[in-house]
Structure 1
Amino acid sequence: MDISLTPIRSQEPLIIERLRLAFPASTFDIKRVPQVLSIKEFTRYANASPFIGLAWTGMRPDTASGRMLKGVMQWRLVLIYKTSNTLEARFKGDARGLGLDAMLDVAMVLLQGVDFKDHGHTAVTLANSVIADGWSDDDIAIAQVDFTFSFATTPAPLALMSVDDFTALGITWALSDDPDADTVADELTPPQEI
């Protein structure tokens, strides 16, 4: 099974490549993160400031998908900026000219209305300031940018063409909430392509 062409797997590097146009690796750390950071994760990323976390948050299908699944993947950027300067520098920038306001403005512009050839297009859906529960330092500013990335997919990229391919998935159906109950394994007979 080939998952390299599936929507999430193929969209992530395109998003990061787009962000790198204005957020160079020499200054900005960009990593995949969960939608909600634990305080331990947040502490680690805050210390890597300026930091951009990329989180996949969900998928919204197009109601007219039919046999081809179409819709939008929902993504979120978590922007973290920490300064050792004045508290206002968190937002307006420090000696390097960085600050959360500039990071936010640039991230929104980079992700709005981008057409990634053969992959889909993006649209910013929300941007807002957030707080980290359990974090008390005044030198941190945090924001998030939510955006969508359209996609259309079929089973074809998975290269599942034979019964053996499906068997390799190892699907077992639990027929009861009892973990000791019998299970049933399905043998699938996919329709033959003409």
Structure 2
Amino acid sequence: MSGGLPAFVAGIPDGPLPGIGRSIQARLQQVFPPAKFEFGIVPANVTAKQWNKLTVRTPFIGLGWTMMQDRTESPLFKGICAWNVFIAVMNERGLKERYFGDAQAPGLLHLAQIAVAAVNGMKTTDAGGNGLGSVFVRRVANAHGENFDENQAIAVLDLEVVTTIQAADVIPNPADLGLFQTLAIDWNFTGASSATDLNDVAGIPVTMESS
């Protein structure tokens, strides 16, 4: 089964968004041991293809960041940071077993209420232990999607954390900015089949090697 999220990048302040995500997953892994549960990151508007790939192994616990919205119109970006927790179980025996469990595994309803109790009211921190805000569960719902595996049962928790993003907490120290020189960049030019095509599209000299 999968483990936790990647550690924070040295030289870049952790900040509230990564810190909240790691805090939530760490709490979930306390009640859903990674040795027994698969963990993953769920993208926004997840497609059936993506979902079925994520949930090849179940029970599955997924975490997804939705948005952060600030309505204060102040120099500080402070507002509600929204996250989702996804829970998926699979049982071919039937709906009753998927939702209420059997001798082999707990059902979706059991796991959903455990997740609610685990994260509701928890405090989040960044990598340095600084408080980022408390988590509150606003809704837990039964979910399904078109072309998702019909033997699955899925629950989604809507979470909210009131937090603040400010420059001092997230912008790297100028002395550490050199780390960006090592970033890799991938280019994807639709329809480009030669160096000439790439030059026309990107406006930069490109050398292509043929094997």
Q: TM-score, normalised by structure 2?
A: 0.70
Seen in structure 2, the aligned counterparts of structure 1 residues 149 and 3 have a Cα distance that, compared at 3 Å, is: farther
Cα deviation 1:131-171 (Å, max 9, x = unaligned) = 1212362x210110010122122111234566xx6xx8xxx
- The alignment's C-alpha RMSD in Å is 2.8
Aligned partners of 1:62 and 1:79: how far apart in 2? Answer: 31
Contact 1:124-1:147 at 8 Å conserved across structures: yes
Contact 1:85-1:94 at 8 Å conserved across structures: no
Match of 1:190 in 2: none
Match of 1:10 in 2: 19
Match of 1:121 in 2: 134
CA apart distance, 1:87: 2.8
Out of 117, 125, 131, the position equivalent to 1:109 is 117
Out of 140, 143, 164, the position equivalent to 2:155 is 143
User: Structure 1 vs Structure 2: percent identity of aligned residues?
Assistant: 24
Match of 1:37 in 2: 46
CA apart distance, 1:85: 2.9
Seen in structure 2, the aligned counterparts of structure 1 residues 160 and 37 have a Cα distance that, compared at 3 Å, is: closer
Aligned partners of 2:13 and 2:39: how far apart in 1? Answer: 21
Query: Structure 2 matches for 1:46-85, cutoff 5 A?
Result: 46-63=55-72, 66-85=74-93
Structure 1 unaligned spans of 5+: 169-179, 181-194
Q: TM-score, normalised by structure 1?
A: 0.75
SS at match of 1:21: helix
Aligned partners of 2:51 and 2:22: how far apart in 1? Answer: 23
Cα deviation 1:166-192 (Å, max 9, x = unaligned) = xx8xxxxxxxxxxx9xxxxxxxxxxxx
Instruction: Give the AA of the match of 1:145.
Output: L
Aligned partners of 1:49 and 1:4: how far apart in 2? Answer: 34
Please identify which structure carries the higher helix content.
2
* Count of residues in correspondence between the two structures: 169
SS at match of 1:133: coil
| Runs (4+) off by over 3 Å | 1-4, 158-162
